[in-house]
Chains A and B, each alone.
Chain A
Amino acid sequence: MMRLAAAVLVAILVGFPVAVMPGPPVTWLAAVALVVAGAGVALLSVTLVTVGASLALIAHTIALVIVQAAVDPVAAIGVAVTLVILLALVHFADRVHGAALGPGVIATQVRQWTAIVAAGALAATTLTMVAALLGAALATATLPMVVATAALGALLAVAGVIALTTREDPPRVS
């Protein structure tokens, strides 16, 4: 059941770039992404799913660049939500494979995922709106300055997240 749900998510993820540009080379790359991520779902391998999702993301980028499509924050949030749920689902399915599940485990997980995804979507929407306001305010700013600031911000954000997730807590006795 969890494999089926993950397979549906993979299909949705691969469908985003194909929907933007239904033709080569996007379809080829999307097909490769589908095969790799599908194999990851079948084997319950988070690594393969990550590789497949990365390929799907690249295919999405290529499709957007070739078509020169207008910025669509809703589709972007959809891709992000699919990615988060897909990774969480495959990881969870891998952990619980062959194990007994107590009552309420699935429901609790779905509640948690929904809350986090909703928070992510809300944050993305808020940032998009702030960016739109900033874009109007900084219309006169030079492009290199904006790009450099954005790159620095992105770098700092990623560095902060890496530091947060890799720092070890002092051992506690419980």
Chain B
Amino acid sequence: MSWRPTALNVSFLTLAGWALFLGLLTGRADLVVIAVPLIVALAAGRRTAAPSPVQIHHAVSAERVLEDERLTVTVTIRAEGAAPLVELLEPLPPRVELERGSHHAFFSLRAGEEVGWEFVLRCGSRQRLRLGGPHVRLWGPLGLAAGEARFRAPQTVAVYPHLTSLRHPPRPVRTQTYVGNHVSPAQGEGIEPGDIRPFAPGDHVRHVNWRATLRHGALHVTQHHHERNADVVLLLDTLSDVGPPGASVVDAAVRGAADLAAAYLARKDRVGLIEYGGQLRWVKPGSGRAQFQRLLDTLLDASVVFTYVTRDLDLVPPRILPPQALVLALSPLLDARFVRAAGDLTARGFDLVVIAVSPAPAARAAVRPGPVADLAARLWDLERRAELDAHRRRGLSIVSWDGVGPLDAALASLRRPRLRRTLAR
């Protein structure tokens, strides 16, 4: 760090020059006297010694937060020598608001003195928040000289999408072999009652159905359904996006995907993720908290990447997209490539549910409100309903969601087929 003159020197020089010029022009000594304190101030403001080093410690309250959660940034400054005026400025990343305090502060430090500075940020939307550390500026007397430096302490904070609990996520048609919360068509040990059949040697006495036994005059037992888990694959469309950053269709879809992942993982299901966009990324189906973290981390980076290359879902290996899995596609259905891919999955016999995230609210947020915008939105809505109906007629199971309201309410309208006994394990 080194001292540099500031623009204030020009003001002092101008006034000193005026005073000297007018003094010489008029031959008045008192005007020359006016210039003297100005020149003394210029000389006093001049710094030659190196600025005293300042030590800065920069810390954040959390490395992972949810949307709209608060993040406290703490900066501790310690001066080796006296620093009459230290200016600190922490640039705010986009989509982050200052909740409390100020990200710009001035301090006056004596030699060896340590002060703390704290401010609270509100993280608006999902992102990898990068805080690079504050800019430091030391001011000389009268602000005539300043030394600048950047304290680099890059810290990344993951801002995950806000989670809303889902009470009724779409029920999978096919179940897997492991124990879970879904009633399997297969009969065996479980608590969900199934068919009634005549008693056979080896049956437990506690399974005897006494009402049927009395009616038929012979022992009958109640069979039970297995409770099994399911494979769920979330298919996220990042081929197109509408709306401002933080409130776009992809952001809404990511929030929905996170909610669905949390709901299914809580039901002991295995959940995977495929990001279908300019780059094809996936997470293998799995269960547990570690899997949820993996999914959230992948969702955090979901964004539209432009490419001319169209990748087919055939490229996705079966261990990522198991044939028995329930596929939940979150898409605005604006890109024909995604509609084609969804149609292919349905044709290949996948249990596919498309959650059509409406781009209208996101688009409305990006344009100025007015009667023309209202009319355009209504026309677009009509057009979109017609398109969705056409897709439904082609066999796609579609749920329309505005991306703003609760996803649970949108999913309530979904009618699911009964469990398939023939395909169940």
List the interface of chain A (C-beta within 8 A of B): 46-47, 49-50, 53-54, 57-58, 60-61, 64-65, 71-73, 75-77, 79-81, 83-84, 87-88, 91-92, 95-96, 98-105, 107-109, 112-113, 116-117, 119-121, 123-124, 127-128, 131, 147, 150-151, 154, 157-158, 161-162, 164-166, 168-172, 174
Which chain A residue shows the least CB distance to B21?
A: A154
Contact B106 A54 (CB under 8 A): no
Q: How far is the CB of A12 from chain B (nearest CB, A)?
A: 14
Chain B residues lying within 8 Å of A165, measured Cβ to Cβ, are 5, 9, 13, 42, 45-46, 144
Minimum C-beta distance from B30 to chain A (A) = 4
Residues of A within 8 A of B278 (CB): none
> Which partner residue on chain A sits nearest B145 by CB separation?
A165
Interface stretch, picked from B97-105, B263-271, B291-299, is B97-105
Contact A161 B39 (CB under 8 A): yes
Measured between alpha carbons, how far is A76 from B9 in the docked complex, in Å?
Answer: 21
Neighbouring B residues of A84 by C-beta, 8 Å: 12, 37-38, 41, 142
B29 lies within 8 A of A116 (CB): no
Contact of A57 among B33, B34, B43 (CB under 8 A): B34
Contact A123 B36 (CB under 8 A): yes
Inter-subunit contact A147/B24 (CB<8 Å): yes
With A58-B18, A76-B34, A158-B13 known to touch, is A88 a contact of B143 (CB < 8 Å)? yes
**Cross-chain contact B102 with A100 (CB below 8 angstroms):** yes
User: B324-368: contact bitstring with A at CB < 8 Å (1 yes, 0 no)?
Assistant: 000000000000000000000000000000000000000000000
* Interface pair A57/B19, CB less than 8 Å apart: yes
Q: Given the complex of chains A and B, what is the CA–CA distance between A108 and B117 in angstroms?
A: 19
Which residues of A are found within 8 Å of B33, using beta-carbon distances? 73, 76-77, 80, 124, 127-128
Chain A residues with CB under 8 A of B16: 158, 161
B309 is an interface residue with CB less than 8 A from chain A: no
**Distance, CA A108 to CA B8, complexed state (A):** 19
The interface-forming segment of B47-55, B175-183, B300-308, B393-401 is: B47-55
Contacts A83-B15, A161-B43 given; does A169 touch B30 at CB 8 Å: no
- Tell me the bound Cα distance from A76 to B349 in angstroms: 95
What is the CA–CA distance of A151 and B42 in the complex, to the nearest angstrom?
20
> Is residue B112 within 8 Å, beta carbon to beta carbon, of the partner chain?
no
**Most B C-beta atoms less than 10 A away, residue of A47, A71, A109, A117:** A109
CB contact between A71 and one of B30, B41, B51 (< 8 Å): that residue: B30
- Give the residue of B11, B44, B107 whose beta carbon is less than 8 angstroms from that of A102: B107
| Contact A61 B12, CB 8 Å, known A77-B33, A83-B34, A166-B5 | no
**Contact in complex: B18, A116 (CB < 8 Å):** no
A-B complex: 3 closest residue pairs judged by Cβ atoms: A120-B37, A102-B107, A80-B37
Establish whether residues A80 and B46, one from each chain, have CB atoms under 8 Å apart when the complex forms.
no
A146's closest neighbor in chain B, by CB? B27
Distance between Cα atoms of A92 and B16 in the complex (Å):
20
User: Main SS of the interface on chain B?
Assistant: helix
Q: How far is the CB of B356 from the nearest CB of chain A, in Å?
A: 45
- Extra inter-chain contacts (18) besides given A100-B104, A166-B9, CB under 8 Å: A50-B15, A54-B18, A58-B18, A61-B22, A84-B37, A88-B41, A88-B143, A102-B105, A103-B108, A105-B106, A107-B108, A108-B85, A108-B108, A116-B44, A119-B44, A127-B36, A164-B42, A168-B4
Task: Report the minimal beta-carbon distance from A7 to chain B, rounded to whole angstroms.
Answer: 18
Which residues of chain B are within 8 angstroms of A154 by Cβ–Cβ distance? 20, 23-24, 32, 35
- How distant is the Cα of A101 from the Cα of B85 in the complex, in angstroms? 10
Q: Say whether B40 faces chain A, with CB atoms less than 8 Å apart.
A: yes
Q: Which chain B positions have C-beta within 8 A of A164? A: 42-43, 46
Q: How far is the CA of A103 from the CA of B49 in the complex (A)?
A: 26
Which of A54, A65, A150 touches B15 (beta carbons < 8 Å)?
Answer: A54
Query: Given known contacts A127-B36, A165-B9, is B85 in contact with A174 (CB within 8 Å)?
Result: no
> Once the chains are docked, how many angstroms separate the CA of A54 from the CA of B41?
17
Asked whether, in the complex, the Cβ of B20 is within 8 Å of the Cβ of A95, the reply is no
Q: B105–A83 contact, CB under 8 A?
A: no
A121 to B40, CA, bound (A): 9
By beta carbon, the residue of chain B nearest A87 is B11
List 10 contacting pairs A-B, 8 Å CB cutoff, sorted by A. A46-B7, A57-B15, A58-B18, A61-B26, A61-B31, A84-B12, A98-B102, A116-B141, A128-B33, A131-B29
Q: Could you say which residues of chain B place their CB within 8 Å of the CB of A157? A: 20, 39
Contact A80-B36, Cβ < 8 Å, known A64-B26, A116-B44, A164-B46 = yes
Q: How distant is the Cα of A71 from the Cα of B15 in the complex, in angstroms? A: 20
B17 within 8 A of A: yes
Other-chain residue from B28, B39, B48, B144 in contact with A61 (beta carbon distance below 8 A) = B28
CA A103 to CA B117, docked complex, whole Å: 11
Q: Is the CB of A64 within 8 A of B1?
A: no
